Structure formats: structure tokens, C-alpha cells
């Protein structure tokens, strides 16, 4: 049994890949152990956060950014090689996503240590925080479809508790619908996974990509694959909060503690986006199947040589609706987090538009460029929306409210808070030299290069709506006469420090955009490099695979 | 025959789950979710296929030279085991949460829940 396994070549294997997961798992268990000593628990949590950042930075450097870096690293869990074992993969795309989450996660964690005394310090807040991070990290790193489902559940379980965290009437209600929706989504996810296993005989993403590229060699019928991909897409769209799956977002975002909402908007949402990009472009793009659908009412025709044509059409529709619903919804909200929650729906549309353009692009160059645009925009959204939700937390702990009607004149009361909020709003709107400018510019430029005039118009409308609600929120809460709530406000210096640090990151990303762009390009290249992914994860030729399977005496591949 | 039976069971479970999910009583909704997640598990098992076993694939069952039974794909069995654990955990959480909803709202009627702010 051991000889054929040992004889199998294993790609650019590296234990570094599991480092962030191990660190965050140890932090979660460690903070569970210190439940009686809140201070020690905070120290363990912060150390875990720092360790996580270091591990992610190490992956960024050794796998992607260093000169001569391999660009992809794999870790075969338990030394069981793919496709039967579980493989963890860190490539450019995973590293990019992990970096976003790490920056926001640290900010949210430090922020949490300052809000927590108000809540019960002995609650399970910190272990849950780390389990949420563990689920997100696992989802970014796994190369196995069922394992992706498991990490989704880990992430969701923690987020369920956070949505119900305060335990008031509106929190329990929001949490119940959030749980119910996600349980249904999980069932659909399982249906998709089961169907894919039945049609292709594998769940390893690399193996799946290889089999889909040569269906005849493996006796696969490609027809059902498009439908199964559609099922998975709907699950990921729920996680990403794309219209028509957006309805849970406003209530859940309002119910969760603001520093967790920052993570829900910045990290959990991006897991959905990541899964869409990874599955559509790395895994399913190689399937040669002519898609030919005609939409009866609008008369549009969806056609193309791969399932991407279908993905592109669906994403276009969902992104268009998201931008409009989110933008229009945000203009009329009466609390800051309501505005931001609807804004999240709109902004995820801005991320999905370039992904849709990439899916329908005719040239490889445009496809690559469109994914870069989507990633840069996602980075900006994570930073800006994270900052703004944390700012809501700071405003709430200072004034006790976040209703626009009860706020006013905050700018004079706490200029640093105002500066941070202002930077976040400008990044959302897309003013140079902040990160938002490049995100927005790249998305517009992608649409222009794809020569899609209606999409350009849509993006313009979406941007105007962004300006409208950002200005309205700013005017209502930071300018004008001071209300009694603002008059009595005491702003926590550490909270504002976290906000200013995030604002500095936003400015730094804009000023040093050259490096960020290179990173995003590496990430997009990794997302599109199916062959590289397959070679690294599962580097066997089909003939070798069968030989190895027979040697090992396993009947799993039958 | 087995495949036909499984298809029937999956269909019936999904129908029952959906029916319960659309009820006004929160506990029924939780039951509906539990049944749907179990239906997904049965479906997963069916997707691996149930095939005649050989002495190689089921050595334990075939150990005494007797008739070798039909077995499900071992990979799918492993997946279902995981999915069952997750499903039960989620259902338990949903039940606890519905109790908490009852404490906070004094009702389990979905339409009344929606009206209150």
C-alpha cells in the first residue's frame, strides 16, 4: 500500500499551506481554554490574530511574490495524495483572498477587544471569531468540493451564533431566517456535489477539471454539468448576497455586532465570490460543451463553447439587479448600517460585473484583465466596507445609536472618527488616490474594452447611487447640529485608532497600487491557469492514475 | 429496483420537507429543514450508486463465504457521514434558536413574527 503512494510525485508541496489554518485553530482552542480569564483570553486571541497575519504574509511571499516563487503550493493532508485525499492549495488567488481577510480580520479583532467589556466577557465570542476565520481560510485553501462544503458550514455555524449574539427579539428573528436560508442552501450544495460526483466520478477540483476537459476519456456526459454548476452558483450567490438572494442581508447585518458585520461583508461575502471564480474559471472552464439557450421574454441568446457562457449570462443578470436594488435601497435607509448593508448588495454587483465580462470574454487577455478588475474591486470593498462597519461600531459604542435621525455634528465631536469615515466613504465612491479609484476605474475600463455600452451605463448609474447614499449618510451623521446623543458621546481612542489604521491601508493601497496590481495579476493568472492547478494538485497522467489505482487495490475510481 | 426505490424516497422526503417548510409554525419549519437535509443525504447516497459487492470491496460482509450484499459507494458513505453530523448539529441549533425566538416573541407563528419590530 505504501509503495505506490510514495512513488507518486507530489507537486510543489509545502507545509506552509496549512500554517494559517493551524494558527487559527490553535487560537480558537486556546481561547476556549482560557474562558475563566478574560484578559488571558484576549491576549491569546490577539496573538492568534498576529500569528495568522504572519502565516498569510509568509504564504504571500514564498508562494507568490518572492522572485522565483512557485506560484502555487499544495499540501496533501495526511499524505494521502489527490484525488482520493484532501488537498490544500495556496495559489495566487487564494493568497490574495487570504490577505484581504487577514487585514480586515486583525482590525476587527483589535476592535472586538474594546467592545467586549460591554458584552459578557466570559461569552464564547473569541473562540467563535476564530472558528469563523478558520472556516473562511479553509474555504479559500481547499481543493476538494465536499471539503469546501464542510468549511462553508464551519464558517456559517460561527456566523449563525454571531447574528443571534445580542439575543433580543429582532436578533433571534434575523438569526432564524439566516439559519433557515443557509440550511436550505446547504442542502442544495449537497445536491450539486452529489450530482457532480455521480456524473464525473470525482470531487477533487483538479481531477474534476482534467476529466471535464477530456470527457470522452472518462466516459462523462457533459450535459448535466451545466445544470449542476447552476445549482452551485446559486449557493455561492446566496453567500455573496447577489440579487435575488439578497433578502437576508439587511436584517442579518443589522443584527450581528458591527465588528462581525464587517467580517460578514468583507470576508464571508468574498468566499462566495472566490468560489464562483474558482469553480467557473479554474474548474469548469475547460469543459467543451456548446451552450445554446434562448431567453423567451427578452429575446437574448446565450451561447458559447463552454459553461462559462451560461455563468456569464446569469452573473450579468444578477449583478445588474444587485447594483440597482442595492443602490436604490441604500438611499432610503434610516440607519447607517442599513445604508451600508444595502450598499453591500450593490457593491457585490460591481464585483460580479467584471466576473461576468470575464466569463463571456472572447480573448484570453480581456478575461485576465476582467478578473484583475474584479479582484481589485473586491479588495477595495473589503477594506472600505470593513472600515465603515467598524465605524458604525465606534459610533454605536460612543453615542448608543446609529439611526441617522439621532445623529448629527459628529465631525466636530470627533475629528479622527470623521476622517476615517470620510476616507472609507470616498474609497466606496472611488476618489483618487484611494484604493476605490483603481477598483472603479478598472471595472469601467473592463466594460469599455468589452464594448458593452449598456453595462457602462449601468455602472454609471450605480456609481451615482453610491455618491448619493454616501453623501446623505455623511451629511446626516457628521454635519449639522449636534444632537443630545452626540453631545454626550465619548469616543474610544483604540477603536478610532483601528479605524485610522484601516484608512491608512486604504490610502497605502491607492498610493502603492503598482504592487497591489501585480499581486492581483498573479491572482488572476492563477485563477485562469487550469493546467498549472491540475499539475500541482494532482500531477498524474491518466494512465498512471489507473495503474496506481490498481496497485493500491482500491475500487474507488470504478 | 434499488435505484427506483431511492428516487422515490428522495422525492417523497423533499416533498414532505418543502410542505413543512411552508407552514406557519416555526417548529414545523425546523422539521422541514431537518427532513430536507436528510433527503439530501439519501440523495447523496443514491448518487454514489448501489452496486453488487464483491469479496474485495466488502471483505467484512463477505467474510464467511456467504452471499455478498449490495453496497453503496464507500466514498459517498464517508461524505454522508460528515453531512449527517453537520445536519444534526444545524438542526439542534435551529431548534434551540426557535425556543429562544419563542422566549423573545411569545409566539411561534411565522406571520406574527414578521409583523413585530
Mind listing the pLDDT tens digit for each residue in A350-360?
Answer: 999 999 999 99
pLDDT band at A17 (very low <50, low <70, confident <90, very high): very high
pLDDT tens track for A76-133: 888 888 788 889 999 999 999 999 999 999 999 999 988 866 666 668 889 999 999 9
Prediction ipTM score? 0.92
Joined grid coordinates for residue A175: 438569526
CB-based contact A264:A135 (threshold 8 Å) = no
Lowest mean pLDDT among A236-250, A402-416, B55-69, B71-85: B55-69
In the prediction, which pLDDT does A487 show?
A: 83
Count the alpha carbons within 13 Å of B17 in the hemisphere toward its beta carbon.
Answer: 19
CB-based contact A314:A233 (threshold 8 Å) = yes
**In angstroms, what separates the C-alpha of A515 from chain B's closest C-alpha?**
41
More confident residue, A218 or A4: A218
Provide mean pLDDT across the span A409-432: 91
Is the predicted pLDDT of residue B55 greater than 80, yes or no? no
Q: Which residue of A lies nearest to B39 if distances are taken between CA atoms?
A: A187
Q: At what angle do helices A38-59 and A19-33 cross, to 10 degrees?
A: 180
8 Å CB contact of B104 and A180: no
In the prediction, which pLDDT does A92 show?
A: 94
8 Å CB contact of B93 and A160: yes
8 Å CB contact of B94 and A180: yes
Residues in B closer than 8 angstroms to A175, CB to CB, are: 97
8 Å CB contact of A556 and B74: yes
Provide mean pLDDT across the span A358-382: 94
Portion 450-509 of A in contact with B at CB < 8 A: none
The predicted model scores a pTM of 0.91
Question: Residue A299 contacts by C-beta under 8 Å, 6 or more apart in sequence?
Answer: none
Provide mean pLDDT across the span A191-214: 92
Portion 74-133 of A in contact with B at CB < 8 A: 84
CB-based contact A427:A436 (threshold 8 Å) = yes
Is the predicted pLDDT of residue A293 greater than 60, yes or no? yes
**In angstroms, what separates the C-alpha of A305 from chain B's closest C-alpha?**
27
Alpha carbon B18 to chain centroid distance?
A: 13
Provide mean pLDDT across the span A461-479: 93
Nearest CB partner across the interface for A172, out of B40, B46, B104: B104
8 Å CB contact of B101 and A198: no
A/B interface, count of CB pairs below 8 Å:
95
User: What is the distance between the alpha carbons of residues B28 and B23, in angstroms, rounded to a whole number?
Assistant: 6
Alpha carbon A412 to chain centroid distance?
A: 35
Lowest mean pLDDT among A262-276, A299-313, A399-413, A502-516: A299-313
8 Å CB contact of A193 and B79: yes
For A511-529, b where at least 16 C-beta lie within 10 A, e where not — what string? eebeebeebbbbbbbbbbb
Taking the CA atoms of B65, B70, B74 and B80 in sequence, report the sign of the dihedral they define: negative
Q: Hey, of B44, B48, B71, which one would you mutate to test binding to chain A, going by the most A CBs within 10 A of its CB?
A: B44
Is the predicted pLDDT of residue A400 greater than 90, yes or no? no
8 Å CB contact of B33 and A172: no
Residue ranges of alpha helices (H) inside B22-64 are 26-48
Residues in B closer than 8 angstroms to A186, CB to CB, are: 37, 40, 86-87, 90
Provide mean pLDDT across the span A1-17: 56
8 Å CB contact of B29 and A164: no
The answer to whether residue B44 neighbours chain A at the CB level (below 8 Å) is yes
The answer to whether residue B71 neighbours chain A at the CB level (below 8 Å) is no
Tell me which DSSP letter residue A89 carries.
E
Joined grid coordinates for residue A338: 442599513
The dihedrals phi and psi of A142, each to the nearest 5 degrees, come to -75, 150
Q: Chain-wide mean pLDDT for chain B?
A: 86
In the prediction, which pLDDT does A547 show?
A: 53
Portion 159-178 of A in contact with B at CB < 8 A: 160, 164, 167-170, 172-173, 175-176
pLDDT tens track for A216-275: 888 888 888 889 999 999 999 999 999 899 989 999 999 999 999 999 999 999 999 999
Q: Which of left, alpha, beta for A395 (phi over 0: left; psi -120 to 50: alpha)? A: alpha
Nearest CB partner across the interface for B104, out of A84, A168, A198: A168
Cis peptide before B16 (omega within 30 of 0): no
**In angstroms, what separates the C-alpha of B100 from chain A's closest C-alpha?**
7
User: What is the distance between the alpha carbons of residues A191 and B17, in angstroms, rounded to a whole number?
Assistant: 15
Nearest CB partner across the interface for A187, out of B37, B97, B117: B37
User: Helix, strand, coil proportions of chain B in percent (round to 5)?
Assistant: 70, 5, 25
Taking the CA atoms of A427, A431, A434 and A436 in sequence, report the sign of the dihedral they define: positive
Residues in B closer than 8 angstroms to A170, CB to CB, are: 117
Provide mean pLDDT across the span B60-64: 67
3-state secondary structure of B50: strand
Nearest CB partner across the interface for A150, out of B39, B82, B105: B82
Q: Hey, of A86, A157, A169, which one would you mutate to test binding to chain B, going by the most B CBs within 10 A of its CB?
A: A169
8 Å CB contact of A173 and B113: yes
In the prediction, which pLDDT does A365 show?
A: 93
For chain B, what is the radius of gyration of the CA atoms?
19
User: What is the distance between the alpha carbons of residues A527 and A555, in angstroms, rounded to a whole number?
Assistant: 32
Provide mean pLDDT across the span B93-117: 83
pLDDT band at A413 (very low <50, low <70, confident <90, very high): confident
In the prediction, which pLDDT does A297 show?
A: 66
What is the percent of chain A with per-residue pLDDT over 90, rounded to a whole number?
65
In the prediction, which pLDDT does A545 show?
A: 52
Joined grid coordinates for residue A167: 439575543
The answer to whether residue B101 neighbours chain A at the CB level (below 8 Å) is yes
8 Å CB contact of A153 and B86: yes
What is the percent of chain A with per-residue pLDDT over 70, rounded to a whole number?
92
Q: Chain-wide mean pLDDT for chain A?
A: 88
**In angstroms, what separates the C-alpha of B51 from chain A's closest C-alpha?**
11
More confident residue, A235 or B3: A235
In the prediction, which pLDDT does A546 show?
A: 55
Work out the widest C-alpha separation in chain B, in whole angstroms.
68
8 Å CB contact of A197 and B76: yes
In the prediction, which pLDDT does A79 show?
A: 85
Number of Cβ within a 10 Å radius of residue B74: 14
pLDDT band at A402 (very low <50, low <70, confident <90, very high): confident
Residues in A closer than 8 angstroms to B46, CB to CB, are: 194
Amino acid at each position: 500500500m505504501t509503495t505506490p503512494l510514495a512513488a507518486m510525485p507530489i507537486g510543489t508541496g509545502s507545509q506552509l499551506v496549512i500554517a494559517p489554518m493551524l494558527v487559527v485553530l490553535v487560537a480558537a482552542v486556546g481561547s476556549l481554554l482560557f474562558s475563566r480569564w478574560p484578559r488571558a483570553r484576549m491576549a491569546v486571541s490577539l496573538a492568534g490574530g498576529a500569528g495568522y497575519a504572519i502565516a498569510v504574509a509568509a504564504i504571500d511571499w514564498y508562494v507568490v511574490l518572492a522572485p522565483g516563487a512557485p506560484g502555487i503550493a499544495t499540501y496533501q493532508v495526511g499524505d494521502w495524495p489527490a484525488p482520493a485525499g484532501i488537498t490544500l492549495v495556496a495559489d495566487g488567488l487564494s493568497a490574495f483572498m487570504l490577505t484581504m481577510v487577514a487585514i480586515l480580520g486583525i482590525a476587527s479583532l483589535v476592535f472586538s477587544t474594546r467592545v467586549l467589556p460591554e458584552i459578557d466577557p466570559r461569552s464564547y465570542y473569541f473562540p467563535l471569531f476564530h472558528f469563523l476565520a478558520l472556516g473562511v481560510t479553509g474555504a479559500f485553501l481547499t481543493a476538494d468540493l465536499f471539503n469546501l462544503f464542510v468549511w462553508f458550514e464551519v464558517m456559517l455555524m460561527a456566523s449563525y451564533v454571531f447574528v443571534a449574539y445580542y439575543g433580543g427579539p429582532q436578533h433571534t428573528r434575523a438569526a432564524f431566517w439566516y439559519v433557515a436560508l443557509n440550511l436550505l442552501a446547504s442542502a442544495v450544495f449537497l445536491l450539486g456535489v452529489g450530482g457532480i460526483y455521480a456524473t464525473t466520478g470525482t470531487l477533487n477540483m483538479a481531477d474534476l477539471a482534467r476529466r471535464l476537459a477530456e470527457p470522452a476519456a472518462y466516459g462523462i456526459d457533459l450535459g448535466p454539468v451545466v445544470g449542476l454548476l447552476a445549482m452551485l452558483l446559486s449557493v455561492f450567490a446566496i453567500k455573496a448576497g447577489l440579487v435575488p438572494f439578497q433578502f437576508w442581508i439587511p436584517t442579518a447585518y443589522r443584527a450581528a455586532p458591527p465588528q462581525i458585520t464587517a467580517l460578514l461583508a468583507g470576508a464571508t461575502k468574498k468566499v462566495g465570490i472566490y468560489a464562483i471564480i474558482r469553480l467557473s474559471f479554474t474548474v469548469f472552464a475547460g469543459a467543451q460543451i456548446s451552450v445554446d439557450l434562448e431567453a423567451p421574454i427578452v429575446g437574448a441568446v446565450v451561447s458559447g463553447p463552454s459553461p462559462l457562457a451560461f455563468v456569464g449570462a446569469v452573473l450579468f443578470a444578477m449583478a445588474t439587479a444587485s447594483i440597482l436594488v442595492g443602490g436604490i435601497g441604500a438611499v432610503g435607509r434610516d440607519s447607517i448600517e442599513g445604508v451600508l448593508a444595502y450598499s453591500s448588495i450593490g457593491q457585490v454587483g460591481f464585483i460580479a460585473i467584471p466576473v461576468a465580462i470575464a466569463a463571456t470574454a472572447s480573448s484570453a487577455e480581456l478575461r485576465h484583465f476582467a478578473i484583475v478588475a474584479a479582484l481589485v474591486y473586491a479588495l477595495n470593498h473589503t477594506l472600505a466596507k470593513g472600515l465603515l462597519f467598524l465605524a458604525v461600531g465606534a459610533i454605536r459604542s460612543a453615542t448608543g445609536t446609529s439611526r441617522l435621525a439621532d445623529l448629527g455634528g459628529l465631525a466636530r465631536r470627533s475629528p479622527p472618527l470623521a476622517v476615517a469615515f470620510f476616507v472609507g466613504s470616498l474609497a466606496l465612491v472611488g476618489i483618487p488616490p484611494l484604493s476605490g479609484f483603481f477598483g472603479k476605474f478598472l471595472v469601467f475600463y473592463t466594460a469599455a474594452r468589452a464594448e458593452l455600452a449598456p453595462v457602462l451605463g449601468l455602472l454609471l448609474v450605480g456609481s451615482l447611487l453610491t455618491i448619493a447614499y454616501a453623501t446623505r449618510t455623511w451629511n446626516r451623521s457628521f454635519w449639522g447640529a449636534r444632537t443630545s446623543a452626540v453631545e454626550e458621546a465619548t469616543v474610544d481612542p483604540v477603536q478610532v485608532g483601528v479605524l485610522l489604521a484601516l484608512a491608512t491601508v486604504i490610502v497605502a493601497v491607492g498610493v502603492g497600487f503598482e504592487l497591489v496590481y501585480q499581486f492581483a495579476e498573479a491572482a488572476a493568472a492563477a485563477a485562469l491557469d487550469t493546467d498549472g492547478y491540475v499539475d500541482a494538485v494532482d500531477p498524474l497522467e491518466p494512465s498512471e492514475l489507473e495503474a496506481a489505482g490498481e496497485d493500491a487495490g482500491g475500487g474507488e475510481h470504478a | 429496483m434499488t435505484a427506483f426505490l431511492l428516487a422515490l424516497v428522495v422525492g417523497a422526503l423533499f416533498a414532505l420537507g418543502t410542505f413543512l417548510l411552508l407552514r406557519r409554525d416555526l417548529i414545523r419549519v425546523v422539521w422541514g429543514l431537518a427532513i430536507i437535509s436528510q433527503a439530501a443525504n439519501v440523495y447523496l447516497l443514491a448518487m454514489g450508486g448501489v452496486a453488487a459487492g464483491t469479496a474485495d470491496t466488502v471483505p467484512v460482509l463477505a467474510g464467511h463465504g456467504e452471499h455478498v450484499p449490495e453496497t453503496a459507494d464507500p466514498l459517498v458513505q464517508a461524505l454522508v457521514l460528515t453531512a449527517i453530523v453537520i445536519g444534526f448539529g444545524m438542526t439542534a441549533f435551529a431548534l434551540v434558536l426557535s425556543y429562544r425566538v419563542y422566549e423573545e416573541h411569545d409566539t411561534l407563528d411565522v406571520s406574527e413574527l414578521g409583523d413585530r419590530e
